[in-house]
Structure 1
Amino acid sequence: MKEKLLMHYRRQQGFTLLELLVVLMIIALLAGFVGPRLFSQVDQAKDKTALNQMKSLSDALSQYRLDVGQYPSETQGLKALIDRPSGVTGWRGPYLSKSVPNDPWGNPYQWHNPTRNKNAVYEVELLATGNDGKTINYGF
């Protein structure tokens, strides 16, 4: 009798192919519903990160302007926040604790002084090239 029960349990171990296919189908359906929502959240997070980084850069640029009397030129670029540009008096930097970061998409931030948009209400602008070439503008 013991051998009969032992053989019965050995045959019952594991899953059938049909059970495995049902589980895989459920996982695929869940991934189909959850995946697109999750990836849209990632894009929104990158936009918010870019805006936060540009706010930090604008604070450093404002401090630079208070010390030097003007924003760095376009040729000096954002590097002027880390390294003292030649011929600049009153520089008390570095104004950032680390090097100038790239935007969340891996591209360098673009600095325009004066702004490229002549109808803008701000004099300088900081740009990030977002997802699919979309530009995030931070003017001040």
Structure 2
Amino acid sequence: MKIRNSQAFTMMELIIVIMIIGVIMSLVGPRVAKWWSQSEEFESKLKIQNIKAALNDYRMEFGTLPTTKEGLRALVENIRPNDEAYRKAEREGKFPFVAKGEEGITDKSGEPFIYHCPPEKNKGKFKFFEIMWVGKQGTEEEPTLTDGV
């Protein structure tokens, strides 16, 4: 038997290693993709909970929720600069109500959450608001999370 003194791998060794890597990736890949999508949904749910808390803080500060037109931007910046209560809150450093500012009202891809608050028809009664996350638009799966309070 002839002893080789070569420093390189044979073609057969390379093919076997590539096949082993391929088998491992085919087993692990789908699980990683599933965990990734679940983490995106979990992060969005967590952000929605933070937005709910910020909306409650906003309501405690100003006595009302932002309108649908004002949207979640009301949690980030002073949308009523002529109102004394809002100027006072701004001076006291209460803005932004959401911890991460602009990033706190958008999902992972930078799309803003959809906020809907019906107009005040019955003052003093319970008011409902809804926050939605529509996920990746244009894909086959469009997850929708809604949370009403």
Query: TM-score by structure 1 length?
Result: 0.80
Q: Using the TM superposition, name which of 124-133 and 48-57 deviates more.
A: 124-133
Instruction: Figure out how many residues of one structure are paired with residues of the other and give that number.
Output: 128
- When Rg is computed on C-alpha atoms for both structures, the one with the higher figure is 1
Answering whether residue 74 of structure 2 is matched by residue 72 of structure 1, we say no
Aligned-pair CA distance for 1:8: 4.6
Answering whether residue 78 of structure 2 is matched by residue 84 of structure 1, we say yes
Map residues 88-103 of structure 1 onto 2, 5 A cutoff. 88=83, 90-91=85-86, 92=89, 93-94=94-95, 95-101=97-103, 102-103=106-107
Aligned to 2:5: 10
Q: Using the TM superposition, name which of 106-115 and 58-67 deviates more.
A: 106-115
Whole-Å Cα distance in 1 between the matches of residues 102 and 113 of structure 2? 8
Identity %: 27
* Match among 27, 52, 57 for residue 33 of structure 1: 27
Aligned-pair CA distance for 1:26: 0.4
Query: What runs of 5+ residues in structure 1 fail to find an aligned partner?
Result: 1-6, 116-120
TM-aligned CA distance change 1:104 to 1:122, over 3 Å: farther
Whole-Å Cα distance in 1 between the matches of residues 27 and 43 of structure 2? 26
The residue type paired with residue 40 of structure 1 is: K
Query: TM-score by structure 2 length?
Result: 0.76
The residue type paired with residue 135 of structure 1 is: T
CA RMSD of aligned residues (A): 2.3
Aligned to 2:39: 45
Aligned to 1:21: 15
